Amino acid sequence: MLQLKVIREEKTRILQGLRKRNWEGAQLKIINEILALDDQRRLNQKELDDSLAEANRLSKQIGPLMGQGKSAEAEPLKQQVAQLKEQSKQLEERQRSIETEQQELLYAVPNCPHKSVPKGKTPDDNAVYRPWPSPMPVLHEGAVPHWDLGKKYNLFDFELGVKLTGAGFPVYRGQGAKLQRALIQFFLEENIKAGYEEIMPPLLVNEDSARGTGQLPDKEAQMYACERDNFYLIPTAEVPVTNLWRGDILAEKDLPIKATAYTACFRREAGAWGAHVRGLNRLHQFDKVEIVQVEHPDNSYKAHQQMIAHVARIMKKLELPYRILLLCGGDMGFASAKTYDFEVWSAAQERWLEVSSVSNFESFQTNRMQLRFKDSNGKIQLAHTLNGSSLALPRIVAALLENHQTPEGIRIPKALWKYTGFKMIS
Partner RNA sequence: GGAUGGGUGGGUGAGUGGCUGAAACCACCGGUUUGCUAAACCGACGUACGGGGAAACUUGUACCGCGGGUUCGAAUCCCGCCCCAUCCGCCA
Give me the residues that bind RNA (CB under 7 A), please.
4, 38, 41-42, 45-46, 48-50, 52-53, 55-60, 62-63, 66, 78, 81-82, 85, 230, 249, 372, 374, 380
List Cβ neighbours of 19 (8 Å cut-off, separation of 6 or more): 28
Q: Which amino acid is at 374?
A: K
Alpha carbon of residue 367 to chain centroid: 13
Cβ pair 17, 362 in contact under 8 A: no
List Cβ neighbours of 11 (8 Å cut-off, separation of 6 or more): 31, 35
Nearest approach in angstroms of CB 119 to RNA is 32
Nearest approach in angstroms of CB 36 to RNA is 13
> Could you tell me where the DSSP H helices lie in 194-299?
207-212, 238-242
Number of H helices, E strands in the chain: 13, 19
CB atoms within 10 A of CB 298: 10
| Between 194 and 257, CB nearer to RNA | 257
Q: Which amino acid is at 290?
A: E
| Between 167 and 380, CB nearer to RNA | 380
| Between 99 and 354, CB nearer to RNA | 99
Nearest approach in angstroms of CB 46 to RNA is 4
| Between 165 and 230, CB nearer to RNA | 230
| Between 46 and 193, CB nearer to RNA | 46
Using a 10 angstrom Cβ sphere, with 0-12 exposed, 13-18 middle and 19 or more buried, the burial of residue 117 is buried
Using a 10 angstrom Cβ sphere, with 0-12 exposed, 13-18 middle and 19 or more buried, the burial of residue 41 is middle
Nearest approach in angstroms of CB 217 to RNA is 17
What is the three-class DSSP state of 266? strand
| Between 49 and 350, CB nearer to RNA | 49
Nearest approach in angstroms of CB 82 to RNA is 5
Nearest approach in angstroms of CB 57 to RNA is 7
| Between 53 and 192, CB nearer to RNA | 53
What is the three-class DSSP state of 143? coil
Using a 10 angstrom Cβ sphere, with 0-12 exposed, 13-18 middle and 19 or more buried, the burial of residue 135 is exposed
Phi then psi for residue 174, to 5 deg, are 55, -130
| Between 80 and 299, CB nearer to RNA | 80
Nearest approach in angstroms of CB 295 to RNA is 19
List Cβ neighbours of 380 (8 Å cut-off, separation of 6 or more): 249, 372, 373, 374
User: Max CA-CA distance within the chain?
Assistant: 105
Nearest approach in angstroms of CB 66 to RNA is 5
Nearest approach in angstroms of CB 228 to RNA is 9
| Between 2 and 283, CB nearer to RNA | 2
List Cβ neighbours of 386 (8 Å cut-off, separation of 6 or more): 292, 293, 295, 300, 303, 304, 307, 358, 359, 360, 361
What does R_g of the chain's alpha carbons equal in angstroms? 27
Nearest approach in angstroms of CB 257 to RNA is 17
Q: Which of 238, 233, 295 is nearest to 262 (CA)?
A: 238
Nearest approach in angstroms of CB 227 to RNA is 13
| Between 206 and 306, CB nearer to RNA | 206
| Between 4 and 216, CB nearer to RNA | 4
